[in-house]
Structure 1
């Protein structure tokens, strides 16, 4: 349920945590505070000097004094400009540095999350937290908090000076303040509600457009252009109405604020003139000074609703970011053993695992893979084959049992060294928007271009890469969109090959490629698996037949183990799979 919109902008806990990030910039904070104080003093000096100038000109006709005060006025104006520049620059500089620190901490924290966190979290949500929400926090500092403090400080100093100069005129000006404050409060509540609706509609519009652009082939294939166009018009119209609502509130509030400000000026002129006629304490200079100071008093109040809205959005953004930072979903990293060179003995001992509590995917499986063996894992979809791969890499923590490599529990190895010795080629290949070379080495500077070329020649894909513009420096664009699925698979295999792993894992690596690409992959597989431990999840007969051992899984359990011929003679589960999936491939 949505919370009632009250206009409250302050949350002490979130504020304290946000200010904790500002603590390391204490000198910038001190300078900005001093600048704000001096700016308040300098700005209020202008109407006082103007009063003096008016009195000197009208009463004494002192041209020299007029010149001196005018020059002094110019100096104060210059000082105000410099202080304002210093203040705005420093607070925005702080805001950008603070969000840089928050983004770094947030990204570092997210990089350590278990895969289960990403399984249950929206990518768009995490991107928003890392990019948009942190930018809103920058505005919290640059356009919200410090600006509000500066404005309030200036209003306080102005009010004190007004009371000191002429308390009666000050009282006249203050009469309008409660009305303006109340109008500002109402506007603040209304505009917050309107902005919340705007953010909802922006999210809906972005989500709709992103989905339709990504799935444009489906839209066109099923002739949904007209339907999606009409749906877009409806969503876009809601987006427009939400923005028009904010425009409506602004168009009401600012004229009202201007009218109230003008009434205050009118009352000041009326009462001040009356007091001059009656030979009271008021003079012409004071009237002019009070007109200036009333604007300095009312103008920040008119704009403060916007700044409080920025403050509110910063608090909300901070809450969202801290929600991610407070999430504890990291893999245990207590392991101290460095995985240098694995022999490749792998043992699963009564391993139980579930992605969702109470729904086991692996139900007490046990098997051994000897060093240098090539083991194939087969079974129907959902049998738990890919889960085994995820657990060896410690993407998830097991519920019960033990997984060992070279007779050492994998929890005892440092996570970085463990994963460095295991190379995985997945069915769904992910390539970054970068060159082929960078997608292969993944910032591993120890791998040279010559090594990559030699490896590509061994696999047989060197000619394919050289045929591309800029060959190894060809940019494959987002997710490797410039390459076919078979070509992406070859690049992924080359990436695993050049890393020289101790354990190689192929997860359906040949399921979505053409026969020619499969042949190249098979050649490379024969080379790379010759003297090291390999685990292959595959449906292709050629790969399974050559495996030293085949593990057959069904519904999270191992139902059969043995070589290809041994399992065929058992006339069991594997034989049925073979008859259904592989028999047609036998020559």
Structure 2
């Protein structure tokens, strides 16, 4: 139950619905037991006309309470009906119907209030999970598959919701129904009830044995669901490549293997779960059978129990079976929910290594420059950057060039604090970026990446991500600077055109210019361009390069470049090799050195 205790904190805002549910469950349990007890006087009126009570009975104490109540109801029925026995019968039937009606009405109210609690908990867990998913660093998702995270926020949270209801029934409603029923059963016959209780622990032990492996089996099912959701997510993301390489059959086989495992695990789980109901029912009927034998003996042979009480007692005994089965079913639900809760809490309780300090400062402006002092960084075991130093004065454009894997994009990730350095420090205006709040740090920066990350929304909303409450005029102005206005107005609905998933309705150059417009609208003092033109054709590159140059005017820019033709005007070009600076200077200075940079330029010219 440790995971459920943690989940229970999400129920606190909805505690009033929980209390109302408990209140109406108590009434339901009480009337559930009374509705069967009310059968005794009805049966007496029907089958024992000779035992009519014509004088009001006198209460003599708790020991004779059952006889007193039976005689009192008999007396009131006879007083009402007089000589017309049908009148008495109708009254007793009416009483039984009212009791059953109230029982079901209270059941509805209990379920009505628990709905708000269940759905509220579901909503809050999902919101908290989404917030956590957004907060966690990018490094977290290099280890976790996205589909598995999606499975946790959808099916696992839903499983918690279902089992949550089961727990509340387990704690309140069903045990109370059993308790009130047993009290009335004791009232009817202590001897018979004690006899029944010899068999109940045996039945309970058998049922609990079945549920022991459910959590493990449920965990496997949920993990496999995350696995095939990951395959679907990767398939949709890489559909172009899959089709181009005729890999449909390979991915189908991978998916089928996953669904076959899910099929086996689900069958195993459900068959174990389904065994509970027939086992519980058979054991219950076995207890009823033993009751019929022992109780029948008390009525027919010993004459220690009257027939009407025995029939009502059998109804009460059967009334225990339904909640007992529900408890058994709920306990399996708890085991399944426990596995889901474990997976959900794993995300919620993951420590975010990149957090603001308690005394983190807000930095509204950028005044002098960026300094990287002796920084070293590794993603796993090998260092990508070692004792790296770089200074970027305000207003300068610094370009980073080098082969793939030399650490260029890592520098962009560290300055934006998507990752934290292992050693050394990154300073902005002399302040360590770890002492600045993440929001204000990233507020100083604009980012344009090689992959234009756009969302399934309108052109205007994609650009407006750069600035909250941006006006239409500001959006259009940003699009003009990014050389995007001309193609946007030609779209079917102009700025209100939906660009599809990841902007797939647009060309590469158009997508990149929207990314630039987004950065322009943000108007940050520092621009980071991560190979912003490397994936474009010549015509698109010319338009994008022009847009970038407009955007970089009067700004501090860090440009990670693959195409060297795009960075010739940079104040400083830094040549990297395996995380170390091998050359540094302007374009002309580096060509004059006749070193690594010149070789890179010659290779590209040759290409």
TM-score using structure 2 length: 0.87
Give 5+ residue unaligned stretches, structure 1: 1-10
Question: What do the CA deviations read for 1:172-198 (whole angstroms, capped 9, x no partner)?
Answer: 544542443233223323655554554
Pairing 1:27–2:25 present: no
Q: How many residues align?
A: 572
Question: What do the CA deviations read for 1:489-523 (whole angstroms, capped 9, x no partner)?
Answer: 11111111111111111100001012222111111
Which whole-Å CA distance do the structure 1 matches of 2:261 and 2:465 have between them?
Answer: 44
1:351 equivalent in structure 2:
375
SS state of the match for residue 397, structure 1? Answer: coil
2:458 equivalent in structure 1:
435
SS state of the match for residue 417, structure 2? Answer: coil
Which whole-Å CA distance do the structure 2 matches of 1:190 and 1:113 have between them?
Answer: 33
1:99 to 122, 125, 129: 122
Please tell me whether Structure 1 or Structure 2 has the larger radius of gyration of its CA atoms. Answer: 2
Pairing 1:275–2:298 present: yes
Pairing 1:329–2:352 present: yes
CA drift of 1:549 comes to 1.4
2:417 to 385, 388, 394: 394
CA drift of 1:43 comes to 0.3
CA drift of 1:459 comes to 2.8
2:365 equivalent in structure 1:
341
SS state of the match for residue 89, structure 2? Answer: helix
Which whole-Å CA distance do the structure 1 matches of 2:106 and 2:370 have between them?
Answer: 68
SS state of the match for residue 457, structure 2? Answer: coil
Q: Could you tell which deviates more after superposition, 468-477 or 527-536?
A: 468-477
Verify the 8 A CA contact 2:114 2:165 in the aligned structure 1: yes
Give 5+ residue unaligned stretches, structure 2: 50-83
2:530 equivalent in structure 1:
507
Which whole-Å CA distance do the structure 2 matches of 1:25 and 1:404 have between them?
Answer: 46
Change (3 A) 1:443 1:66: farther
Which whole-Å CA distance do the structure 2 matches of 1:227 and 1:114 have between them?
Answer: 32
- Give matches, 1:362-511, under 5 Å: 362-442=385-465, 444-511=467-534
Verify the 8 A CA contact 1:181 1:301 in the aligned structure 2: no
Which whole-Å CA distance do the structure 2 matches of 1:564 and 1:424 have between them?
Answer: 24
CA drift of 1:379 comes to 0.8
Which whole-Å CA distance do the structure 2 matches of 1:227 and 1:81 have between them?
Answer: 55
SS state of the match for residue 115, structure 1? Answer: coil
Change (3 A) 1:324 1:237: closer
Verify the 8 A CA contact 1:184 1:301 in the aligned structure 2: no
Which whole-Å CA distance do the structure 1 matches of 2:276 and 2:120 have between them?
Answer: 34
TM-score using structure 1 length: 0.89
The alignment's C-alpha RMSD in Å is: 2.7
1:318 to 325, 341, 351: 341
- Give matches, 1:249-260, under 5 Å: 249=272, 252-260=275-283
2:587 equivalent in structure 1:
564
2:40 equivalent in structure 1:
51
Verify the 8 A CA contact 2:26 2:173 in the aligned structure 1: yes
Which whole-Å CA distance do the structure 2 matches of 1:148 and 1:332 have between them?
Answer: 39
Verify the 8 A CA contact 1:435 1:472 in the aligned structure 2: yes
Q: Could you tell which deviates more after superposition, 205-214 or 430-439?
A: 205-214
CA drift of 1:377 comes to 0.9
Which whole-Å CA distance do the structure 1 matches of 2:170 and 2:496 have between them?
Answer: 48
CA drift of 1:233 comes to 5.1
CA drift of 1:484 comes to 2.7
1:3 equivalent in structure 2:
none
Which whole-Å CA distance do the structure 2 matches of 1:185 and 1:251 have between them?
Answer: 13
